[in-house]
Homo-oligomer: A and B are copies of this chain.
């Protein structure tokens, strides 16, 4: 057995980028093949269908966010964990203003599709909601469930509004407010 090809990896990477930028429907397999430098016909050796490729993209995004969370979870202060999440989001403000929140837009676009692909993306949103809620619980907040929903919705919402108005400052302003809110708890 020789060197392992990185083509599969490159395909997922290109698909992740293009799906977010142009949307699922407007990104053809040919687009992904070209962007990743893999010949069209060869794509189907790694992914039997486009749906399989979409599933791989969701899996990759899921792993990425869970890895971030694992890092944050090493911090003993749940308040600081939330602030880390908010800081990450602010750092992506330009991307969010241009193309929307990667998780939110993917859930929305996939919800118009059939299961099981949709539920995988939705599962990621649910995981985020639960992770955020857990931090409030560990802070001893009795209204942890409400605050968890409130913060998750605020994050998604400022993404939608910032994307519609094409203004990264909207993400900045709203998340600055959220950080103050959490610090003052």
Whether A163 contacts B107 in the complex (CB less than 8 A), given A174-B149, A177-B146, A177-B150, comes out as yes
Q: Is the pair A111, B156 in contact by a Cβ cutoff of 8 Å?
A: no
A6 within 8 A of B: no
A168 within 8 A of B: no
Determine the residue in chain B with the shortest Cβ distance to A146: B177
Q: Which residues on B sit within 8 Å (CB–CB) of A113?
A: 26
Q: Is the pair B129, A160 in contact by a Cβ cutoff of 8 Å?
A: no
When all copies of this chain in the complex are counted, the total is: 2
List residues of A (140-181) whose CB comes within 8 Å of B's CBs. 146, 149-150, 152-158, 160-161, 163-166, 170, 173-174, 177
Q: Footprint of B on A, CB under 8 Å?
A: 21-23, 25-26, 99-100, 104-105, 107-109, 111-113, 121-122, 125-126, 129, 146, 149-150, 152-158, 160-161, 163-166, 170, 173-174, 177
Nearest 6 CB-CB pairings of A with B: A157-B157, A153-B157, A25-B25, A23-B112, A125-B164, A156-B157
